[in-house]
């Protein structure tokens, strides 16, 4: 996922249900005061939900330097996600995707920060009833895993009753060997932890020229490794952003620009047709507002179009990059920012609630 731009997750037990049918804050274990990594059974939750609505949370943005608490400044001053055991997220938003863990599994770090991020935050997320996905890699980092023991140590560090699963963002030109090793580790982990969901986040085009082109070389290596390993029950999360020039080879063109909502839909259809990934196993992640390719602009209307498609097609999930960007830019700020969308007239948490409401 772009460093300027990637998830809070609104987790539903199935697509098309209202807020009453979504995972809430009941049955949560109290926060632990221990400095040790949070351990705990997730068996009380059963299997992770099939559908996940989950904006990304880039943990290093607005991070509290004294406590290491994950925070956001969308509402103004930096505010921890959990205060006094309660969530500060908008009503009905009950999960986060935490990005990004990098390095070798078992010795991973977070944007150079120590692994203690888990002990500083997971007890609070559990107490507040906030589900979470651990996301790895990203545009500026690589996550590797060469042993099953390392993968088990990685998983164990983040286990709690609110853990949904793990996401592997692959976009740094990793070799076929690195990707194959990671997929083998994921297959073993999936067999040992069938209650968790495992996803791969991949860059995409929204080709509307009939070519069905969707994945770049990184994505194709992932799909090849999945087939070679015999991995099943995985999700493919498409980064429906930064298509580039407004030409049919890249996107759905409307009024000489890439129609971001329709291009996202086309990307999902291309993946389904070309690689046979069921719609129920496809997730979509746009970059809200102005993308790194500044001519590609994702609006509130695009969010509604994408969400309706996800609901009607019973996709596996909707996310966006990122929670911290879901804020209006201060006067004088131009270009792409990690802390605002680049759009005027969209209030703080405007995209977060627009997706939530359109997915009901």
277: domain CATH number is: 3.20.20.80
Is 3 within the bounds of a domain? no
Report the C-alpha gap between 120 and 36 in whole angstroms.
10
pLDDT at 342 over 90: yes
Q: Please write the tens of the pLDDT for every residue from 68-116.
A: 999 999 999 999 999 999 999 999 898 899 999 999 999 999 988 887 8
pLDDT at 40 over 70: no
113 or 21, which is more confident? 113
Phi, psi of 153 (to 5 degrees): -65, -40
Is 312 within the bounds of a domain? yes
SS3 102: strand
pLDDT at 180 over 50: yes
Average pLDDT, stretch 163-179?
A: 97
Give the pLDDT score at 3: 38
pLDDT at 43 over 70: no
Is 118 within the bounds of a domain? yes
Is 196 within the bounds of a domain? yes
Give the pLDDT score at 18: 34
Encoded tokens for 358: 């359109």
Report the C-alpha gap between 8 and 10 in whole angstroms.
7
Is 277 within the bounds of a domain? yes
Q: What is the mean pLDDT of the chain?
A: 88
pLDDT band at residue 23 using 50, 70 and 90 as cut-offs: very low
SS3 11: strand
Give the pLDDT score at 338: 95
Question: How many domains is the chain built from?
Answer: 1
| Domain extent for 211 | 8-358
Q: Residue 82: name the closest of 91, 69, 95 by CA.
A: 69
Unique residue bearing structure tokens 């209307």: 301
Phi, psi of 114 (to 5 degrees): -70, 165
With a pLDDT cut of 70, the percent of the chain lying above it is 88
Give the pLDDT score at 45: 57
C-alpha of 24 from chain center? 19
Give the pLDDT score at 13: 33
Residues with Cβ within 8 Å of 104's Cβ and at least 6 positions away in sequence, in order, are: 144, 145, 146, 150
For residue 269, is it left (φ>0), alpha (ψ between -120 and 50) or beta? alpha
pTM: 0.89
pLDDT at 38 over 70: no
DSSP alpha helix (H) spans, the chain: 117-128, 148-158, 176-192, 217-229, 260-275, 300-313, 350-358
With a pLDDT cut of 90, the percent of the chain lying above it is 80
Is 1 within the bounds of a domain? no
Q: Please write the tens of the pLDDT for every residue from 267-325.
A: 999 999 999 999 999 999 999 999 999 999 999 999 999 999 999 999 999 999 999 99
Residues with Cβ within 8 Å of 54's Cβ and at least 6 positions away in sequence, in order, are: 7, 8, 9, 10, 11, 95, 96, 97, 133, 317, 318, 319
Is 248 within the bounds of a domain? yes
Is 69 within the bounds of a domain? yes
SS3 319: strand
Report the C-alpha gap between 194 and 347 in whole angstroms.
39
Q: Please write the tens of the pLDDT for every residue from 217-242.
A: 999 999 999 999 999 999 999 999 99
Give the pLDDT score at 104: 97
pLDDT at 334 over 90: no
């Amino acid at each position: 996922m772009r460093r300027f731009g990637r998830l809070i997750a609104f987790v539903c037990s199935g697509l098309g249900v209202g807020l009453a049918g979504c995972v809430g804050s009941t049955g949560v274990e109290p926060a632990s005061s221990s400095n040790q990594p949070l351990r705990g059974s997730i068996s009380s939750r059963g299997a992770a939900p099939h559908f996940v609505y989950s904006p990304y949370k880039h943990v290093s943005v607005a991070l509290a330097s004294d406590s290491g608490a994950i925070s956001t400044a969308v509402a103004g001053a930096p505010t921890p996600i959990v205060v006094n055991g309660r969530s500060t997220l908008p009503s009905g938003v009950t999960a986060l995707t935490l990005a990004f863990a990098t390095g070798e599994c078992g010795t991973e770090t977070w944007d150079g920060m120590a692994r203690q991020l888990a002990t500083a935050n997971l007890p609070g997320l559990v107490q507040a009833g906030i589900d979470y996905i651990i996301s790895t890699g990203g545009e500026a980092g690589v996550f590797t895993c060469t042993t099953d023991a390392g993968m088990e140590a990685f998983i164990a560090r983040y286990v709690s009753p609110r853990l949904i699963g793990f996401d592997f963002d692959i976009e740094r030109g990793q070799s076929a060997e690195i990707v194959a090793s990671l997929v083998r580790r994921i297959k073993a982990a999936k067999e040992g932890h069938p209650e968790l969901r495992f996803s791969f986040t991949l860059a995409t085009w929204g080709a509307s020229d009939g070519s069905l082109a969707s994945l770049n070389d990184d994505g194709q290596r992932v799909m090849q490794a999945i087939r070679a390993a015999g991995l099943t029950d995985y999700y493919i999360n498409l980064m429906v952003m930064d298509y580039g020039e407004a030409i049919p080879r890249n996107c759905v063109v409307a009024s000489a620009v890439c129609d971001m909502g329709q291009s996202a839909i086309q990307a999902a259809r291309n993946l389904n047709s070309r690689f046979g990934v069921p719609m129920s196993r496809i997730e979509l992640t746009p970059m809200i507002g102005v993308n790194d390719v500044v001519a590609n602009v994702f609006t509130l209307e695009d969010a509604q179009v994408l969400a309706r498609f996800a609901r009607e097609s019973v996709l596996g999930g909707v996310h966006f990059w990122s929670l911290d960007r879901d804020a209006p830019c201060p006067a004088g700020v131009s270009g792409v920012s990690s802390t605002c969308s680049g759009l005027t007239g969209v209030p703080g948490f405007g995209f977060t609630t627009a997706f939530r409401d359109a997915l009901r």
